[in-house]
Amino acid sequence: MFTTYWMLLVILAFQGLFHSSLSHVALTYPPARKYDLDFLDNARTKGPCGMPKGDLVTEFQQGADITVTWHLAYPHQGGYRLEILDASGSVEHKLAPTATNLQWNFPGNDTTKQSHTVSLPAGFTCDLCTLRLLRQALEWGNGYRFWSCADIKIKSGWSMSMNWNTLHFSSPTECSGHGSKNDQGVCVCTGMYVGDQCQYQDECKSDSDCGNGQCVDIDATNYPKRICFCDVGWFGTNCEKESSVTSTAINKALYTHVSLVSQSPKYDLYYRVLKDTRELEVVLINEGNSYAALGWRPDGITARCQRFPEYAGKYINVPGSGYGDSEPGSKPEPGSTPEPGATPEPGSTPEPGATPEPGSTPEPGATPEPGSTPEPGATPEPGSTPEPGSTPEPGATPEPGATPGPHSTPEPESTPEPGSTPEPESTPEPGTTPNSGNKRKRRDAHSSGCGDRISFCQGSDCTYEASWEYNAATDKVTFTMKAKNTLGKWIGIGFSEDGTMVGADIITGWVTSEQQVVAHDRYATSRSPPVIDASNNIENIQGSQVEGLTTITFTRNRNTGDNEKDKQFTDTSDGCFFFLYAIGGSYDEANNIMYHSWREMSNQKICIKPCPEPTSTPEPESTPEPTTQEPESSPEPTSTPEPESSPEPTSTPEPESTPEPTSTPEPESTPEPISTPEPGSTPEPGATPEPGSTPEPGATPEPGSTPEPGATPEPGSTPEPGATAEPGSTPEPGATAEPGSTPEPGATPEPGSTPEPGATSEPGATLEPGAQPEGSAGLHAMDCTDIVIGRARGMRGNVGDYYTRDRSSPRPDSFYDNGFNSLTAALAYEQNGVTTVLFRKKLEATEQQDHDIRNEVMHVIWARGQQIGQYYHNPESGLEKGNPAVSNFYRPDEIKYHGHGNQRGQARLNFVEQPITKPCGNEYKQPTSCTDDDCEYKATWEYDAAVDEVTFTLKAKNTENKWIGIGFSPDRNMPDTDVIVGWVEADGRVVVQDRKAVGYSPPLVDSRSDIKNIEGSQLFGVTTIKFTRARNTGDNQNDFQFSDTDCYYFMYAVGGSVSGTSINKHAKTPVISSEKICIKTCSSVTVTMSASVRFTSVTFTENLRNRNTEEFIELESKVKAAVEPALKEALPGYRSVRVAEFA
């Protein structure tokens, strides 16, 4: 009886940390480390836990029995393991399974199990050790697993002479710090905490906690189990926010409509921009009774966003981040028996600290742990100094001698575009290691410490550029920042000791509409906007704002003397810093700045110091002063191909696999890297390499490396995005994919790469988790997305503002430091099995968890919760292959894994752009604010009713040796699309082809061409193609026929390289019009308005009665000039105004 009062104690440094863990797997008790993100796996995150140690520690007594609990959002195949790691991350004790001959625990093969009672080792104590949960996902590979860690202390028992009352009543950490024990020794929890140790947290306990709503038990399998559903007119976690939308009546005619899933169960998106309040209003209508979600991020955001928040981001293997190192490895458990011939899965980071599986052999290219012995023959990458244990970055130069897997076809476009190769950073801090994996959008031009430049560009189009020049005579540095599309926004540069914002020295500036230049010396004390320094140490401020391009120049001393707020540059390594580059965010008249909308960081610390002295060489036979010889310029580093250029190892398709009907292969999908077994281990008995798998970019074997015995390349793998399709590959019937993509029939891919039954790509492509969207190098479809999730019970709703940095389940913005719910209105309700969610959000983001909603194409994702009895997993999960104790694992309104197929997808949409309305001629351009040759892509069409023909003009920049095209589809899907593509050969010959997409391979050239009047040019990287076709070509087999009633979705695409007459896959997911576009005779709609206008400064004459007089014409022109701008804004499709008479 006595032990029940002192067996468990908790030290809680961060109060209120027990948020719900909506994960593939994450510990809930003892609580996982902050941040308890839930997609921490051994392929992407740094071992042994995927998250660094923090201040949250749970204390136990030696020998105690404790029930460890965790949350699953996806019941994977396989078992779990519980173990204690020592302070270095090495395995100290295995808690489960307890049998020495078992590596994994399979209690009755219950794949839904979320708790296990273990006995802590008797006689074992520790001041700082770790309890780690490992969970397999066998359908994704035998070596692949998730990990979640809780920091713990294990203490010896107290003396039996300890005062009972002191022990019982005065322990400050009893009941997890969220309650106290009553006389019976039972925890009485405070606030919303529940559980025998007050270790879990609900959002409400009774209706009174919900204010203007109701507390509902959603029957979840883990916490929170009780949440608030708000009355119409209220929203927020506890229904505390008043909504400006107070009615469920929705006029769909006011919105742009996108059918996300057109077959039952349907899923529809409606959106509009409220110009007066600068808000986006979205309506989601889902045929189902679980959650509905929509997310977005800027198209083209880089993989560095995955470092959010910075503290947790250092433990994720982000391309280009330099944070791929692993912690010290674990002590291998004795007695492991190698399994002959087992082949480990390629590509993942070994699991440090783990119990090795018997006999595994590391895969070529796998990252060794620090201190480990490299594989025989492995040669470091020429010229690069890899960080210890780091994984090669995507985009790294292919290493000599690397052999592609059999049958893999490298992408023809392996040569990067000119200017895409980053030059080395400026003089690095002594002892620092440059990061070898610069991204394609980054263009560095660093030479020496005395003056450097960095720019972030796509071809010649630069988003941001910073340069600096050091004058050793005055010991001053002059900085210049430039950024485009920054009207009304600030731009900035910062200096940081560790690459994070906290403690950074920051300079921000902007140019007002009156051309006043403003710049401030600031200091960041947190992740909130930096504050202005009391002491301003910048001078010579200049700037300009021309057509959206902001330029700011200023000077500061290397050492300003302000050691509290400024970073002091010196000649030594202590005076070198990471550079931070940023674009706002708006500003106000009080000089307050909003959170940045774009940010980047240097790959290493940068020093600012005197230039090296040049070498002087006297001229032979001459007396005058010697001439200075220019120092030899360093050769540019070799061109870095994009990640897609590395051939993939091939995979073995499952025997006799039958393609699933009406499935959608996930275009562009980069399958999840298969994890490498723990160091020195062998895959489980019977382990088979995962079919269809693709290693992470950068998993190319080192030069000269020898494949491990038995590591047979897997035939038939899906090529990397952009790679040429393998001959003979057959698309799945009825599937939907992007132009040029070829599905791998029958292969069982990594998570997310499998074609899904019934999935549609409306609009744009539908990507699996695991797929890499285009335009966002190195990112998965879910990475770094601002998300809104809505749930409903009857006429009450729960709508929240969420964010996810990776494949982890979205967390409320308030989960992160300084985060909050930034929705301005919300409601949700459910009627007749259909869930409707409405929300509003400001176009300008006000916190780091949000993204600006811009007038440009954005990456958009959508998802909905699974319905009981209609679960979608491909490949089959533990629900289908195991013996689950909880067969109805996915509960309505519990935010767990959404499922495959038509349960989720992605698109590229411009929420702000108005739909096309003029039938006889119009245009599409991206960005919408671009002008002609400055557009990334532009399409125009004009209909000539006299001859019933349409003339199209297509333009796209940065398209040398690439095709551009336009397509017409009845349903937004690539199959059966009528496509026209064109390009300009190097000799100036213009090629335009009439094609038809019959599946997912590149569209086929029609046997009969129905296009004429072909023109084109290629000037300064801008390709222009012009052609004419009849509205009705008469080719009903290959062409779609436009008429006054037959309208189609337009697809706008840019290749892909050209080889002869063959075209490769598009470079980005094509944008698809949000509505069908009609091409027909322009109809004149005459709106007659009777108005009396009094002209106080005009004398009426009889000539104003005659419309043919000069006076009438002049006054009519003035009236038109006054009213036409307002009419164009208010009336889409407006053409002209006419004055009937003056009287």
Confidence (pLDDT) at 644:
38
Confidence (pLDDT) at 906:
87
Q: CATH: 3.20.20.10, 2.60.40.10, 2.40.128.110, 2.60.40.1210. Which one for 449-611?
A: 2.60.40.1210
Q: Does residue 365 surpass a pLDDT of 60?
A: no
* Residues 333-353 pLDDT 10s: 333 333 333 333 333 444 444
Question: Cβ contacts of residue 981 below 8 Å, gap of 6+?
Answer: 963, 964, 965, 992, 993, 995, 1003, 1053, 1055, 1063
Mean pLDDT over 281-297 rounds to 96
Question: At 1135, is the pLDDT very low, low, confident or very high (cuts 50, 70, 90)?
Answer: low
* Residues 999-1024 pLDDT 10s: 878 899 999 999 999 999 888 788 99
Mean pLDDT over 626-638 rounds to 38
Question: At 1133, is the pLDDT very low, low, confident or very high (cuts 50, 70, 90)?
Answer: low
* Residues 894-952 pLDDT 10s: 999 998 888 998 888 899 876 655 667 788 888 887 877 778 899 999 998 888 999 99
Give CA–CA dist 597/853, Å, rounded: 10
The CA-based dihedral angle spanning residues 733, 734, 739, 744, taken in that order and rounded to the nearest 10 degrees: -40
Give CA–CA dist 852/264, Å, rounded: 33
Domain 921-1072 has CATH 3.30.70.260: no
Phi, psi values for residue 306, rounded to 5°: -70, -10
* Residues 571-613 pLDDT 10s: 888 899 999 999 998 898 889 998 888 888 888 899 998 876 5
Domain boundaries, the chain: 2-201, 449-611, 921-1072, 1084-1143
Residue 637, exposed/middle/buried by CB under 10 A (0-12, 13-18, 19+)?
middle
Domains 449-611 and 921-1072 fall in the same CATH topology: yes
Peptide bond into 352 cis (omega under 30): no
Q: Provide the CATH topology of domain 2-201.
A: Coagulation Factor XIII; Chain A, domain 1 (2.70.50)
724 vs 585, more confident? 585
3-state SS class at 164 = helix
Confidence (pLDDT) at 1117:
80
Give CA–CA dist 219/660, Å, rounded: 33
Confidence (pLDDT) at 1091:
58
What is the separation of C-alpha 612 from the centre of its chain, rounded to a whole number of angstroms?
42
Confidence (pLDDT) at 460:
65
Give CA–CA dist 780/669, Å, rounded: 9
157 vs 15, more confident? 157
Give CA–CA dist 701/678, Å, rounded: 18
Confidence (pLDDT) at 233:
96
The amino acid sitting at 831 is Q
* DSSP codes, 883-907: --S-SS-S-TT------SGGGEEEE
* Residues 408-445 pLDDT 10s: 333 333 333 333 333 333 444 433 333 333 333 444 43
Mean pLDDT over 320-324 rounds to 34
Cross-strand bridge partners of residue 556: 477
Confidence (pLDDT) at 455:
85
According to DSSP, the β-strands at 213-217 and 200-201 are unpaired
* Residues 1029-1087 pLDDT 10s: 999 999 999 999 999 899 999 999 998 889 888 898 887 888 888 889 999 877 555 55
Confidence (pLDDT) at 1093:
67
User: What is the C-alpha radius of gyration for the chain, rounded to an integer number of angstroms?
Assistant: 32
Confidence (pLDDT) at 1102:
83
Query: In this structure, are residues 791 and 784 in contact, taking their beta carbons and an 8 Å threshold?
Result: no
Phi, psi values for residue 841, rounded to 5°: -150, 140
pTM: 0.59
* Residues 437-477 pLDDT 10s: 333 344 443 434 577 888 888 666 788 999 999 998 899 99
Confidence (pLDDT) at 1103:
85
With a pLDDT cut of 90, the percent of the chain lying above it is 40
Longest dimension (CA), the chain: 115
Confidence (pLDDT) at 292:
96
* Of 585, 464, 589, the residue nearest 514 (C-alpha): 589
Confidence (pLDDT) at 1074:
81
